[in-house]
Amino acid sequence: MKSWAQLVADTVRMGGVLVFIEDQAPQDLSKWLNPLGQLFAGKIPFTVRKESDFLRGKYQTGAHDLVFFFEGQDSVLRSVDAYAQGQRVWVSRSTEMPAAVDYLWHTADLGAWLTFWQSLSAQFESLIENWTGVDSDFTPCLFLDRDDVVVRNVPYNKDPDQVELIPEIVELIKKAHDTGYWVALVTNQSGIGRGRITWGEYKSVHQQMLKLLAQQGAWIDECVWSSFIENESVPEGRMFAGLRKPRAGMFQLVKEKLKIDMGNSIMVGDSATDLLAAYSAGVGKCYLFKSVKLEQERETLEKFRATNSGFNYQAISSASAISFGRL
């Protein structure tokens, strides 16, 4: 690895964590970790876990995390191989590393390791601030709500036979793809969080929707759903509150995965929460699609617009009114 300083900075900027496993680690592991706590005062998040935390499902790493293994932790590496996701770093005095890791951090001893972190502390802020992303490569996206936008709304639907596509949706999706847009589904599904629908039932309905689209040559590139509904009795109903619209979590997940140009993206929804979430996420164009609750939703949006001058939307009765192109 040419620049450990840049890799650590990139990890932090993307929300990653430095992860260490205490089993079979150096006896003086605390000394190896001291600079992270003393020099950076929380600016570099790190955690120390046990092998059993991974194996019992008590802890899991993310794609942006850096997971450190020290020379001598070979069996730990093999043990957590299926659980420790993210980028793996092998810290060793040798120039050899296991095939299951991504980077070799070749360091002579603890002293060399401490010297690195001391040098990083002087330039860390500038590395974070001088981030060079790939914004020029970002692509706009057509975001779609599911019920009454892609398919007819059947409350708490668990029957694939009741799935019916909304007229015009196939042509809208095809137009988005022809114009170079991604297409993503972002849908609140409180029925799961309420315990009214199982994941298996949701899956069967979801896959029927995709099947019907595919039969007409249309597809959705990314699908995200939120089951949060403040229901303590159902695990799916009490987790990931930030994903549920009008929060912007689902949009942010799609943005990170597909490299979305949010300012030139489009949201089509049938409720105020759809459009408010899109606005919060930075989506440039918002369309309120006709439904039985159109007037109620427009009233909510007009109240919001009265105190938020940057918010704008267009109520439409036909998907043909949606225009693609950069703002």
Name the residues annotated as catalytic.
145, 147
Where are the extended beta strands (E) located within 4-155? 18-21, 46-49, 66-70, 87-92, 103-106, 141-144
- Nearest Cα to 301, choosing from 284, 315, 291? 315
Amino acid at position 46, single letter:
F
**Whole-angstrom distance, CA of residue 107 vs CA of residue 99:** 19
**Whole-angstrom distance, CA of residue 189 vs CA of residue 155:** 10
Q: Left if phi > 0, otherwise alpha if psi is -120 to 50, otherwise beta: which for 174? A: alpha
CB 19 within 8 A of CB 47: yes
Phi, psi of 245 (to 5 degrees): -60, 140
Amino acid at position 191, single letter:
G
**Whole-angstrom distance, CA of residue 45 vs CA of residue 106:** 22
Cα 260 versus chain centre, distance = 12
* SS3 state at 183: strand
Tokens 């692509």 correspond to 139
* SS3 state at 60: coil
Can you name the residues that pair with 237 across neighbouring β-strands? none
CB 24 within 8 A of CB 73: yes
Can you name the residues that pair with 66 across neighbouring β-strands? 18, 87
**Whole-angstrom distance, CA of residue 58 vs CA of residue 49:** 10
Tokens 């900075």 correspond to 9
